[in-house]
Amino acid sequence: MESQRNISEFILLGLSYNQNTQIFCFVFFLFCYVSILAGNLLILVSIRCSDLFYQPMYYFLSHLSFMDICYTSCVTPKLIGDLLLARKTISYDNCMLQVFSLHFLGMIEIFILTVMAFDRYAAICRPLHYLLIMNRTRCHLLVLAAWAGGAIHSFSQFSMIILLPFCGPNEINHYYCDIFPLLKVACTDIYITGVLVVANSGMVALVTFVLLFGSYIVILFSLRNHSAEGRHKALSTCGSHITVVILFFGPSIFAYLRPPTTFPEDKIFALFYTIIAPMFNPLIYTLRNTEMKKAMRRVWCQRIFSEEKHN
């Protein structure tokens, strides 16, 4: 690849040039990252250490929390560190690794959200066959399929970007390496690559979003035949999931389902699916979920009690 590029690093322009704004962003995003780690680890440990782990919905939720931690960790620690630096750089190799990791983990998260919607459809619309449909083997296979789908998507995106020649300039108007900002600094015609990126990322996000919303419309129609208590429980669970889907897919569709160019708003929208959504996911899934709150109290109260007894 050395013959196709004469740069060894990229300069990230970041979120702002204003020093006071950067200090505020440093404090804010440090708080966000600690909240993401604490909230998602709390859900992950609570599910793994309770009987909820054997229920399909919470099994998938534990994987979603793990993906949130991994996904945001590809971007947020470097963003926080760069806010303290006057010159923000990233090596070519690390930039390519960041592109691959973000698309790999992001697509796994998209597929897990899709699987969670299918799980809710099976639970609400096919309650008598639910345990047969969502048996443990099928749950494992669905998660494995999500990882395989993420690998296929990320390798296809990575193969297009790694072949691009970069001759200079090397300034990326973003706070991390993403495909469209990289296409802008590539010294070749990027029309075909841009179309392929939109077809791969943008259309996948849009089609998945439409399928998810379609499944929830079917679920809402089927709730007419349920009791008031059943409707309340189903709406509480589905409402949380729909909120997460909108937070993640809305900005993602804006970012990738368009001609291959960059806008100043891109960095703001990217914050939603790289930091804001992973931070709010634990709150969304726990505040309105009685089973989750009970499991958290049971697991952590037992741990505190056992530690006090041991001391």
* Residue 37 belongs to some domain of the structure: yes
Angle between helices 19-48 and 56-73 (to 10 degrees): 150
> Rounded CA gap, 295 and 311, in Å?
24
**119 contacts 134 by C-beta, under 8 angstroms:** yes
Q: Find the CATH number of the domain harbouring 44.
A: 1.20.1070.10
* Residue 310 belongs to some domain of the structure: no
Which candidate, 206, 204, 210, places its Cα nearest to that of 154? 204
Q: How far is CA 108 from CA 35, 63, 79, 168, 253, in A?
A: 22, 10, 23, 33, 16
For the residues of 258-274, what is the DSSP string, one character each? Answer: S-S---TTHHHHHHIII
Number of other residues whose CB lies within 10 A of the CB of residue 232: 12
* Residue 89 belongs to some domain of the structure: yes
* Residue 259 belongs to some domain of the structure: yes
Tell me the two tokens of residue 190: 């990027």
Q: Which domain holds residue 298?
A: 17-305
* Residue 2 belongs to some domain of the structure: no
Number of residues that make up the chain: 311
Return per-residue pLDDT of the chain as tens, 311 residues.
443 567 888 999 888 888 899 999 999 999 999 999 999 998 898 888 888 888 898 999 999 999 999 999 999 999 999 998 888 999 999 999 999 999 999 999 999 989 988 888 888 888 888 889 999 999 999 999 999 999 999 998 888 888 888 887 888 888 999 888 888 888 888 888 888 888 888 888 888 888 888 888 888 787 777 677 666 766 766 777 788 888 888 888 887 877 777 777 788 888 888 898 888 888 887 766 777 777 777 777 766 555 555 55
Please count the structural domains in the chain: 1
* Residue 3 belongs to some domain of the structure: no
**188 contacts 161 by C-beta, under 8 angstroms:** no
* Residue 8 belongs to some domain of the structure: no
Residue 106, C-beta contacts closer than 8 angstroms, at least 6 positions apart: 71, 150, 252, 273
